[in-house]
Structure 1
Amino acid sequence: MSLVVQWGDCQTGMDTQRYMKVRLSIIQNNIMKKQRSVLLIVALFFSTIMLSAQTAYEADSAELKLSFSTYLSHTDKYASGFDICSDKDGNTYVCGNTRDKNFPATENAYQTKLNGSADVFVVKYSPAGEIIFATLLGGSNREHHSAITVDEQGFIFVSGGTESEDFPVTEGAFDESFNGKGSWAGDIFVTKLTPDGSNIVFSTYIGGEVEETLSGGCIKVDSKGNVIIGGLTKSKDFPLTKGQISDSESMHGFIAKFSPKGEKLLFSYTFGSSTWEIVTGVEVDDKDNIYLTGATFSENLPVTDDALRKEIIMPKSGGINDHYLAKIDGISNNITYFSYFVTEGFATTPVKWTSPNKLVVCGSTETNNFPATTTLLCDSIKGMQDCYVALFNSETMNLEYAAIFGGSEMERVSSTGFINDYTIIIGGTTTSPDFPITENALYKGFPTCEKTFNSSFLGRKKCFVSIIDTRNNEILNSTFMGSGFLFNIYPDINGNISFVAEAGQRGEAGDTGFPITKNAEEPPTYAMIGRLLLNVPPEPTKEELYKDVTVDSDILKSYVAKYELSPGFAFTITCDDGQLMLHIPEEGSVPLFPKCDNTFFLKTSNYEFSFNTGSDGEVVSMTMHPDGGDDVICKKIEE
Structure 2
Amino acid sequence: MQKRKNERSARLKAVLITYIIFVILSTILIPITSNTAKNSTELRITSQLLENASSLGQGPQNFSTYIGGSMDDMVYDVDVDDQGNVYICGSTKSSDFYVSENSYNDTYGGDTDCYVSKISADGSEVIWSTFIGGPQSDLANSLKVLADGSVIVCGESRSVSFPTTEGAYDESHNGGSDIVVFKISSDGSDLLFSTFIGGSADESTSDLDINSNGIICIAGTTAAADFPTTGGAYNASYGTNVDVCIMELSANGQNLLYATYLGGFDYEDAREVEYTADDKIIVCGSTKSVNFPVTASAYNDTLYAGTYDVYLTKFNSDASDLEFSTFIGGSGDDWSYSFELCESEDILVHGKTYSTDFPLSTGAYDDELTGLTDAFLFKISKDGSTMMTSTFYGGDGGESGGSVSIDSDGRIYISGITGSTDLNITDDAMQKNIKGTYDMFITEFLPDLSDITYGTYIGSSGTDSAYWSCIDCLGYFNLVGYSNDIDFPTTDGAFNTTHNGGRDVVVIKFPRYPITSDPFPFLIVILVIAAAFAITVLLMIVKKRKKKKSKS
Report 1:161-310 matches (<5 A).
161-180=156-175, 185-215=176-206, 218-241=207-230, 242=233, 243-246=235-238, 250-273=241-264, 276-310=267-301
Q: How far apart are residue 169 of structure 1 and its match?
A: 1.2
Match of 1:133 in 2: 128
- Structure 2 distance, partners of 1:81, 1:346, is 24
Which region of structure 1 is more displaced relative to structure 2, 326-335 or 151-160? 326-335
Over the residues paired in the alignment, what is the CA RMSD in angstroms? 2.6
- Cα 1:70–1:346, aligned 2, differ >3 Å: closer, same or farther? farther
Match of 1:71 in 2: 66
* Structure 2, unaligned runs of 5 or more: 1-33, 50-61, 517-552
- Which digits, 9 at most, give the CA deviation of each residue in 1:381-411, with x for residues without a partner? 1111111112234356643221112112211
Greater Rg by CA: 1
- Which digits, 9 at most, give the CA deviation of each residue in 1:201-226, with x for residues without a partner? 221100111211112xx111111111
Letter in 2 for 1:171: E
Match of 2:19 in 1: none
Match of 2:537 in 1: none
Q: What SS does the aligned partner of 2:422 have? A: coil
Match of 1:149 in 2: 144
Higher relative contact order (CA 8 A, sep 6+): 2
Report 1:263-412 matches (<5 A).
263-273=254-264, 276-315=267-306, 321-343=308-330, 344-345=332-333, 347-394=335-382, 398-412=386-400
Q: What SS does the aligned partner of 1:80 have? A: strand
Letter in 1 for 2:498: E
- Structure 1 distance, partners of 2:152, 2:36, is 46
Q: Is the 8 A contact 1:358 1:392 kept in 2?
A: yes
Match of 1:530 in 2: 508
- Which digits, 9 at most, give the CA deviation of each residue in 1:502-529, with x for residues without a partner? 212xxxxx55543344353321121111
Q: TM-score, normalised by structure 2?
A: 0.77
Q: Is the 8 A contact 2:300 2:328 kept in 1?
A: yes
Structure (1 or 2) with the greater helix fraction: 2
Report 1:480-559 matches (<5 A).
480-482=457-459, 483-485=463-465, 487-504=467-484, 511=486, 513-517=488-492, 518=494, 520-525=497-502, 526-535=504-513
- Cα 1:433–1:100, aligned 2, differ >3 Å: closer, same or farther? same
- Structure 2 distance, partners of 1:270, 1:56, is 50
Q: How far apart are residue 463 of structure 1 and its match?
A: 0.5
Letter in 1 for 2:309: D
- Cα 1:523–1:346, aligned 2, differ >3 Å: closer, same or farther? farther
Q: Is the 8 A contact 1:81 1:144 kept in 2?
A: no
Letter in 1 for 2:126: I
- Structure 2 distance, partners of 1:397, 1:107, is 53
Pair 1:475-2:456 in alignment: no
Letter in 2 for 1:302: P
Q: What SS does the aligned partner of 1:120 have? A: strand
Match of 1:462 in 2: 439
Q: What SS does the aligned partner of 1:112 have? A: coil
Letter in 2 for 1:411: E
* Structure 1, unaligned runs of 5 or more: 1-54, 455-460, 505-509, 539-639
- Cα 1:89–1:313, aligned 2, differ >3 Å: closer, same or farther? farther
- Cα 1:490–1:315, aligned 2, differ >3 Å: closer, same or farther? farther
Identity %: 27
Q: TM-score, normalised by structure 1?
A: 0.67
Q: How far apart are residue 117 of structure 1 and its match?
A: 2.3
Letter in 2 for 1:326: T
- Cα 1:481–1:303, aligned 2, differ >3 Å: closer, same or farther? same
Q: Is the 8 A contact 1:76 1:97 kept in 2?
A: no
- Which digits, 9 at most, give the CA deviation of each residue in 1:6-54, with x for residues without a partner? xxxxxxxxxxxxxxxxxxxxxxxxxxxxxxxxxxxxxxxxxxxxxxxxx
Match of 1:634 in 2: none
Match of 1:434 in 2: 422
- Structure 1 distance, partners of 2:146, 2:223, is 30
Q: What SS does the aligned partner of 2:380 have? A: strand
1:104 to 70, 74, 98: 98
- Which digits, 9 at most, give the CA deviation of each residue in 1:444-490, with x for residues without a partner? 1212xx3xxx4xxxxxx211111111237221111111141453222
- Which digits, 9 at most, give the CA deviation of each residue in 1:227-263, with x for residues without a partner? 111121111211122334557x711121111121222
Q: Is the 8 A contact 1:63 1:440 kept in 2?
A: no
- Cα 1:329–1:197, aligned 2, differ >3 Å: closer, same or farther? farther
- Cα 1:492–1:201, aligned 2, differ >3 Å: closer, same or farther? same
Q: How far apart are residue 331 of structure 1 and its match?
A: 3.8
